[in-house]
Structure 1
């Protein structure tokens, strides 16, 4: 992999500067704007803005009601008391309806946001070749399932909650700061027996109080961003190790490797504990600030408003109205204090998701290394033109500079163990572009590539046979005939069962199933990476017979070791090691 891709991953999991963070956030925003969910997200955002604005207006009405209600109590006005209760029922009922509407819109926004991000990330991840290339891109390519599933979900949840919370706090601040300012007018304060006035003193007190707490919270929480990013990465690594041990239980048991596996898992858990301890330390420090601030807030509004009450500028109802307004302003200003940890978590999660997306896009760009030229053959032949394939350990080529393989010319490409056979196969499949020279292939829809290890989906056996097409494109009898032809008659009755077929079937059965796919798809070219080596002799013989009958229009290119030799092949080419030469870039695999 080129170093450019690696560099992309280097800042993806925390520790990036503000410019890089903004660039990553913009890339996600652009992806959402281009997604099919864009209009729905825009409509939901508009709906949330309207509901939050209406809620703010009703909270202003509730604050004004506080003064009138408590003044009727102080004046012992029974009729006024009754009228205020009726008014309260109207205000409370309206706020209840708005709260329910906001909750529904919130949940729908999270769902749509997750849908847009997930579909985009899956599309980026499963773009041609990327799912393979990202796996060799370093740490950024480890456990992509964590980023696509857990991280995207977490990002959608946090983005919605923080976005709506910030909007609500901003509207409350703008609304109630005017109330506080008007209540502060004409209030005389006293210092050393000398009266003086400060215009809007309640507003300034709220700003200073909340500003100091926000500054302390920011200083306490800033270390949480890299800590959370590392915590998610180590959680993912531990989960992957546990799943890996579970899936390979038989191998662990027969090798008596339980002690070694326990050591590996404990080491990964210890690494997680290290970052969790750091998280505990920073969170504890942050709690000192947020909890202490919360306790002081119980009396701070009354202390600030009390001079106006004692001077006679405010009635008892006015005092409670001012306290309520101060609390709303303070609540708005302390939004950062209450959400400092969540903001750090959101930033770390966004870096993981957007960094992964950027790394996926970087797989299409290879700088500082020569590329193999891939082209479509105009006459349905397979050509190698001075082909050089650069692997992490060697430079390999074909024993002839110019090679042309015509349709029907079944060819064996022989290479010794470790000579780069799989790398050549990947180059033919367009997954490995590092090298020089050119490859001309027939059009994609006429080729079927068969890797060394057969791929089994998590669907039914019928869906596995039809892969990558849909099962309903083939008649049911075709599935049965394909299985029977490859000696898999015993699986016919299980065609519609859903199992972990990569566990249920032996390696030879999986490869036989993969070759049975050929009978359904009937490709004109079949390029195989040592996949025939694990087949029993009888299955190999059947396969060669298939290319003489059912697949007579197909051409087989088998990349294998010397053991793959057979009179069936009309042509034999050899992989050769070429003189090493600096590529100018670091390769991934």
Structure 2
């Protein structure tokens, strides 16, 4: 039975937008903002923006009041008054220009700082307490975390800033000009069937009714964009993932002549993206009928509304233009929602992806609550103890052929198992990455299960991780590059036949790409020689070495690390008799199971210790060998 691989993969189904969860998501992100180190800086920038926008609203009110004397001077053909008003306009325009430039700087600075705070918060949550590893098993939230941390966080920061500033500006404009428009409405009377009707705040009510109808129509037509944008981002992430996958495996694809097959797969992914985009095009086109129609009619709407006061009232031409200007300003404030329906839908979809990712990360701390867990406790005398260990895997219960095992310093243990018995899951369980099951794992007391640095326990996975940077940093990882002297680094490289790399210790490169497969595997054992751990636990790390490299690796333990415990999970030993004991893994499909998405398929009661479990059995030692291989 195959054990699922936690490596990132495209989601079979795109993320679905849950519009009912908007306010909980907003509150969650607001709490994250309040705890962010960037909070004070963002509050300062927000205060600056509010001040600039308020001054801009004052300047626009001044500009609107300027309309009356300017147009009245035109109506009177007063050249001196006309020239004077042009100078007044120049002063107002310079003030508004200065404020606009200041607002642009504050706007862009806010985007940068907001993105910094959001991305740092997501990185802290993601790379904390093995959350990233566990999230990788999630079929939806764990897909393409790079997309959510990089692109979605950037997009959310920019949309939040633009929409927030726009809403604040519209609110201040509305508060400023609604009083002006109310006052100008006093000069407007309606003549209906010979009756004179004066409606208090006539133009204000017309503006509110006009904008309200347009807003309702805009949301009715534009609300499907929330779901469509969420689908689009999920499809885009899948396409990007598969493009990267093909790029990374191009050699194998070329050797198998699989270009046509991969092209078909990528074309299928592209078709799904284009299909969603076509639906978005249709939705945006329908929305444009409302927003553009509203915009065009707004050109004449204020004149039509104010015309009765000009033709039948006592409004002068200048007062008419002032009323028209105030009506337009109120409409610009009220049409903020109409103009931004598409952007709001985009913001809502992006907020859904970012907040669900953040909540999913935090939920990883509660993953498997109520299920049995392996007890990790320090051992004594630098021993490794595996007592009554049973690992609940997706395929069933994984256990050793011998329930009580104690490995003394200097001993070497080989754990073998048939294909599909869960060797990698068992390795992860010992490493603390997969804590579900029962029994006890005891490691030397100076080994902190949350911090593998130092000379405690080292874990060697099947594929070693080589970080970018200098070769010195790569071999020292995860410790700092300057923790070791040059001679120690050179000696460690030489112990695994990598002496030719010593001259490149300070060279920065993508060593995971530049080194050959054999060199990367040998570099992992060079780290062991450098750090001299008390315990080394490997997942088939011996099995992938060639004969010469395997001999060098075994020589490190025999000659330099004689007191180091070695536990290897892999294939049967065929030579050298390196191991002191050999145990076998078995998989019981009827035993307790655990799926990482917290949908266990086994009986939960099986996770509880049985009455026959004997804690005193922890002191029972393993026999030298279960079998001779």
TM category, shorter: over 0.9
Partner Cα separation in structure 1 for residue 33 and residue 557 of structure 2: 48
* Cα distance change, pair 377–67 in 1 and its aligned pair in 2 (3 A): farther
Partner Cα separation in structure 1 for residue 397 and residue 571 of structure 2: 18
What is residue 80 of structure 1 aligned with on the other side?
81
* Residue 416 of structure 2, aligned match among 414, 417, 421: 414
* Counterpart contact for 2:464–2:524, Cα < 8 Å: yes
What is residue 542 of structure 1 aligned with on the other side?
552
1:148 is displaced (CA, Å) by 0.6
Partner Cα separation in structure 2 for residue 339 and residue 564 of structure 1: 70
1:272 is displaced (CA, Å) by 1.2
- Equivalences for residues 150-189 of structure 1 within 5 A: 150-189=151-190
Secondary structure (helix, strand or coil) at the match of 1:519 reads: helix
* Residue 586 of structure 1, aligned match among 585, 599, 613: 599
* Counterpart contact for 1:14–1:348, Cα < 8 Å: no
* Cα distance change, pair 564–319 in 1 and its aligned pair in 2 (3 A): farther
What is residue 48 of structure 2 aligned with on the other side?
47
- CA displacement, residues 419-473 of structure 1 (integer Å, 9 cap, x when unaligned): 1110011111111122122222232341111111111223232221121122122
What is residue 202 of structure 1 aligned with on the other side?
203
* Counterpart contact for 1:12–1:352, Cα < 8 Å: no
Structure 1 residue 101 and structure 2 residue 102: aligned? yes
1:75 is displaced (CA, Å) by 2.4
Partner Cα separation in structure 1 for residue 111 and residue 355 of structure 2: 17
* Counterpart contact for 1:223–1:282, Cα < 8 Å: yes
* Counterpart contact for 2:188–2:306, Cα < 8 Å: no
TM-score norm. by structure 1 comes to 0.94
Partner Cα separation in structure 2 for residue 251 and residue 32 of structure 1: 45
Partner Cα separation in structure 2 for residue 393 and residue 15 of structure 1: 32
1:555 is displaced (CA, Å) by 2.1
Partner Cα separation in structure 2 for residue 461 and residue 441 of structure 1: 30
- Equivalences for residues 378-389 of structure 1 within 5 A: 379-389=381-391
Q: Which range moves more in the overlay, 495-504 or 461-470? A: 495-504
1:481 is displaced (CA, Å) by 2.1
- Equivalences for residues 326-405 of structure 1 within 5 A: 326-365=327-366, 366-377=368-379, 379-405=381-407
Partner Cα separation in structure 2 for residue 490 and residue 402 of structure 1: 45
Structure 1 residue 452 and structure 2 residue 465: aligned? no
Aligned residues: 581
1:222 is displaced (CA, Å) by 0.7
* Residue 517 of structure 1, aligned match among 527, 531, 537: 527
- CA displacement, residues 493-520 of structure 1 (integer Å, 9 cap, x when unaligned): 3333343333332322111011111233
Secondary structure (helix, strand or coil) at the match of 1:256 reads: coil
Q: Which range moves more in the overlay, 177-186 or 122-131? A: 122-131
* Counterpart contact for 1:37–1:112, Cα < 8 Å: yes
Partner Cα separation in structure 1 for residue 260 and residue 80 of structure 2: 81
Q: Which range moves more in the overlay, 113-122 or 363-372? A: 363-372
1:310 is displaced (CA, Å) by 1.5
Is there any run of 5+ residues in structure 1 with no aligned partner, and where? 2-8
Partner Cα separation in structure 1 for residue 378 and residue 100 of structure 2: 60
* Counterpart contact for 2:397–2:592, Cα < 8 Å: no
* Counterpart contact for 2:14–2:234, Cα < 8 Å: no
* Counterpart contact for 1:11–1:355, Cα < 8 Å: no
* Cα distance change, pair 175–197 in 1 and its aligned pair in 2 (3 A): same
What is residue 627 of structure 2 aligned with on the other side?
none
1:565 is displaced (CA, Å) by 6.8
Q: CA RMSD in A?
A: 2.2
* Counterpart contact for 1:12–1:356, Cα < 8 Å: no
* Residue 491 of structure 2, aligned match among 481, 484, 487: 481
1:564 is displaced (CA, Å) by 6.8
What is residue 573 of structure 1 aligned with on the other side?
583
1:263 is displaced (CA, Å) by 1.2
Q: Which range moves more in the overlay, 127-136 or 148-157? A: 127-136
- CA displacement, residues 37-89 of structure 1 (integer Å, 9 cap, x when unaligned): 11111111111111111111111111111212222222233333333223222
* Counterpart contact for 1:135–1:141, Cα < 8 Å: yes
What is residue 225 of structure 1 aligned with on the other side?
226
* Counterpart contact for 2:400–2:585, Cα < 8 Å: yes
Partner Cα separation in structure 1 for residue 151 and residue 600 of structure 2: 30
Secondary structure (helix, strand or coil) at the match of 1:71 reads: helix
Partner Cα separation in structure 1 for residue 288 and residue 483 of structure 2: 60
Partner Cα separation in structure 2 for residue 236 and residue 337 of structure 1: 29
* Cα distance change, pair 564–53 in 1 and its aligned pair in 2 (3 A): farther
* Counterpart contact for 1:172–1:329, Cα < 8 Å: yes
* Counterpart contact for 1:370–1:434, Cα < 8 Å: yes
* Counterpart contact for 2:407–2:565, Cα < 8 Å: no
Partner Cα separation in structure 2 for residue 24 and residue 193 of structure 1: 57
Q: Which range moves more in the overlay, 562-571 or 158-167? A: 562-571
Partner Cα separation in structure 2 for residue 489 and residue 387 of structure 1: 41
Partner Cα separation in structure 2 for residue 515 and residue 229 of structure 1: 45
What is residue 467 of structure 1 aligned with on the other side?
477
- CA displacement, residues 260-304 of structure 1 (integer Å, 9 cap, x when unaligned): 111111111111122112111111111111111111111111111
Q: Which range moves more in the overlay, 437-446 or 507-516? A: 437-446
* Counterpart contact for 2:189–2:313, Cα < 8 Å: no
* Counterpart contact for 2:394–2:593, Cα < 8 Å: no
* Counterpart contact for 1:389–1:435, Cα < 8 Å: yes
Secondary structure (helix, strand or coil) at the match of 1:267 reads: helix
